[in-house]
Amino acid sequence: MSQTQVSTSIQAAKRYAELSQQLSLANPDALDNDTGVAVQAKFITPLDPVIETADGNRLPAVPVEEAHKINALKSKADGQEESLIKCTSQEKEKEKSRLSLLEKDVSAPDDSLDLALPPVTSHPLFPPLPLYGPPSLLRNAHCLFFRITSFFLSTGFLLVIVLGALFTSIPTVCDRVWFWLTFRDPDRTRPFYEEEHRRAAARQREAQKWQQSNKRSKTQHQYREKPDTLNNVSQDKFVPLEGGPDKLVCDARYYARRVGLEMEKFKVQTEDGFIIDLWHLYDPNKQQPHSEKEKGDKGPNIFQNGLQNGENTPPQSKRYPVLLIHGLLQSAGAYCCNDDDSLAFYLHKAGYDVWLGNNRAGFRPQHTLLNYSDPRMWSWNIRQMGVMDLPAFISRVLSETGFHKLGLVAHSQGTTQTFVALAKGQRPGLGEKISVFCALAPAVYAGPLIGKMYFKFMKVISPAMFRIFFGIHAFIPLMMVMHGLLPAKLYGWMGYLVFGFLFNWTDRRWDKGIRDRFFQFAPVYVSSESMRWWLGRECFAKHKCILSTKEEDVQEDSSRDSSAKSSGPLGTTKETGQEKGTPWYDERAPPFAMWIAGSDGLVDGRRLLDRFEQGREPHVNVVRSKVIEEYEHLDVLWAIDSIEKVGSEVKQVIWQTMSKEDRQRCQSIDGVTDTPI
């Protein structure tokens, strides 16, 4: 090595050490045993680098340019050629082509991606996240400022919302009082009035039986009387493990035990170091729970451990895995609070192996290195939930079950992160791990509620003002504090009142007797950056779409209009058969199925359905689409007839889209047919 090369290497090593210090967990001089010392960047996708530390952990949310820089400096300090740092425009085009090929691998990208050129520009819908360095006097003062301002301002904002909800509820309260004073039942006009009374009576009988049995046996586990059937699924083989009056607890396992099932909780580590919860339902009469060691996280690398379990299981003895993903400000408990009409319980009792994913933060934010007060713990939005959380869930479920694919069911924001993850330029290879994607109330296009006054306020203020109002940590954490302080019944009532005010929801189609349960699992911790993506002036609220900007939509609409005379069915030209517009998905997209709430003001599911029907996604096979006119946003989960109108069809679609080999390998599913879609 020449003297010039040695000098260059020394300078690179010095700059590398400085940059490593800026990207580490803390100042390396203050760390012991290299814990959290930045070593290099690892690209999960071309737009999603994370920092690998000397102790094998990960730090999230590093800008692409900084990630490229630390890898280039490390390579140069080690004496390697820095061939990818400076390129001609022709070489840049070759590099872009290579990156597009690397996107085809759903697992960790090729190592050469770590030295790749950073993208010249990012998608306008996914602007770069802010970079927060290790703790310092200036950064700590910066964080403290935002925590103080956001505490007072966001609390004031929340108070305005609560007061608005209380004020707008006055006419409803007055109407109910008038009905009672005139000796009329105000609930008589509810669409499921008789069914609600029948279910309330059934629950009361079950509670009495449970209490009487406990008095006789002195133990809950000797309760063996057959419960009343609340829907058309046979329940006689599932004996309740909990009973009595509803305790109103934020514990999905408790509600699973009330219908004769058990639940275990797995820890999953994402590729950027977050620890997220994955719940698994099982029949305690047929299966033993996993050990605590087996339920622990397996590290940040996904789709690399192979299929661990059940590879040689005899045919017709396995359950096909189904993963459920929840919506914004919710947890997976939303699928578990409606007795046997809960979608999770229904699918398990039908014969599927049901897993429920809880996105990052949830009720208990966890990371391998970061703590709650570190702003890097909260520097994420819908993209990270899509390209990090969802693959981590899918990888773990497939690893535990021994299958190559699974059925994916998502609601609201859960559909958003899936639609984003499967898109070209994100993580499209994930589609090859999914046999069907069932989207409930798909959140792709904004509904009219985005124009409400309080949402407009968030859109009007600048990003800097948004952070002053709502901070750079958790979004209005006072909501979670009140969750732990208020009595469960009061909290459930307030939750319904506030969320109903915000999103124009009603409980007309729900079982009102258990409505307070539904709001025990919401809200949860989310990042202010995530809410800024939804409601701030730059992203979703501005463009009203998760994957297309306003300008792209105008161009595509103009293109379709100009070619209308020469167009064939579904927007294809007669001469070439080429579809108009820019598709979001390629040939790796799994089959899609959609259940759209026709009275949903929060999102516009019909516009998404139009996109598919017009042929703008030629690679997507929509195997089922249904608009339920009377349904609102949450009715697809909680309506009394949701199993009949949604759940039973989800059960059928999953079975019909499974591979022939998986059908032969799995036990039969109650009430499904083999008629191909």
Are 134 and 272 within one domain? yes
Q: How far apart are CA 444 and CA 604, in angstroms?
A: 7
What is the predicted pLDDT for the residue at 98? 43
Residue 212 pLDDT class (50, 70, 90 cuts): confident
Which residues are designated catalytic? 412, 600, 633
Are 533 and 573 within one domain? no
Residue 217 pLDDT class (50, 70, 90 cuts): low
Residues paired with residue 597 on neighbouring β-strands, in sequence order: 628
Domain boundary among 121, 140, 170: 121
Q: Which two tokens stand for residue 285?
A: 């009469």
What is the predicted pLDDT for the residue at 9? 78
Are 364 and 492 within one domain? yes
Least confident of 30-39, 159-168, 296-305: 30-39
Least confident of 126-130, 193-197, 266-270: 126-130
Q: How far apart are CA 56 and CA 52, in angstroms?
A: 6
Are 575 and 436 within one domain? no
Q: Which residue has the tokens 């996904």?
A: 302
Question: Which is more confident, 538 or 605?
Answer: 605
Cβ 401 vs Cβ 370: under 8 Å = no
pLDDT tens digits along 482-516:
998 999 999 999 999 999 999 988 999 999 999 99
Least confident of 74-83, 175-184, 270-279, 517-526: 74-83
Least confident of 271-285, 296-310, 580-594: 296-310
What is the predicted pLDDT for the residue at 116? 47
What is the predicted pLDDT for the residue at 62? 85
Are 527 and 675 within one domain? yes
What is the predicted pLDDT for the residue at 109? 45
Are 136 and 109 within one domain? no
Are 558 and 597 within one domain? no
Are 480 and 608 within one domain? yes
What is the predicted pLDDT for the residue at 89? 46
Quick one: average pLDDT of 560-570? 49
Residue 640 pLDDT class (50, 70, 90 cuts): very high
What is the predicted pLDDT for the residue at 94? 46
Q: How far apart are CA 312 and CA 240, in angstroms?
A: 33
Least confident of 192-196, 224-228, 315-319, 611-615: 224-228
Q: Which long-range contacts (CB under 8 A, 24 or more apart) does 280-285 make?
A: 280/354, 280/355, 280/356, 280/400, 281/256, 281/344, 281/345, 281/348, 281/353, 281/354, 281/355, 281/356, 282/348, 283/238, 283/348, 284/241, 285/237, 285/239
What is the predicted pLDDT for the residue at 227? 47
What is the predicted pLDDT for the residue at 671? 87
Question: Which is more confident, 438 or 86?
Answer: 438
Q: What is the side-by-side strand order in the sheet with 321-325? A: 262-269, 275-282, 353-357, 321-325, 406-411, 434-440, 592-597, 622-628
Residue 234 has pLDDT above 50, yes or no: no
Residue 105: CB atoms within 10 Å: 13
Residue 441 has pLDDT above 80, yes or no: yes
Residue 224 has pLDDT above 90, yes or no: no
Are 181 and 272 within one domain? yes
**What's the one-letter identity of residue 73?**
L
Are 488 and 591 within one domain? yes
Residue 348 pLDDT class (50, 70, 90 cuts): very high
Contacts of 348 (CB under 8 A, 6+ apart): 261, 281, 282, 283, 354
What is the predicted pLDDT for the residue at 563? 52
SS3 content of the chain, % helix, strand, coil (to 5): 45, 15, 40
pLDDT tens digits along 372-415:
999 999 999 999 999 999 999 999 999 999 999 999 999 999 99
pLDDT tens digits along 622-636:
999 999 999 999 999
Cβ 605 vs Cβ 574: under 8 Å = no
What is the predicted pLDDT for the residue at 32? 63
Are 536 and 554 within one domain? no
Are 553 and 421 within one domain? no
Share of the chain above pLDDT 70, in %: 82
Max distance between CA atoms of the chain, in angstroms, equals: 99
Contacts of 592 (CB under 8 A, 6+ apart): 436, 437, 439, 612, 620, 621, 622, 623
Least confident of 56-65, 436-445, 635-644: 56-65
Q: How far apart are CA 77 and CA 42, in angstroms?
A: 18
What is the predicted pLDDT for the residue at 159? 95
Domain boundary among 121, 139, 174: 121
Helices 478-485/137-168 angle, 10° precision: 60
Q: Say how many domains are in the chain.
A: 3
Per the rule left: phi > 0, alpha: psi between -120 and 50, beta: everything else, 303 is left
Structural domain containing residue 33? 3-121
What is the predicted pLDDT for the residue at 307? 54
Backbone angles phi, psi at 315, to 5 degrees: -60, 155
What is the predicted pLDDT for the residue at 6? 66
What is the predicted pLDDT for the residue at 643? 97
Domain boundary among 525, 558, 583: 583
Residue 112 pLDDT class (50, 70, 90 cuts): very low
Least confident of 198-202, 215-219, 261-265, 367-371: 215-219
Q: What is the pTM of this model?
A: 0.90
Q: What is the CATH number of the domain that holds 243?
A: 3.40.50.1820
What is the predicted pLDDT for the residue at 122? 64
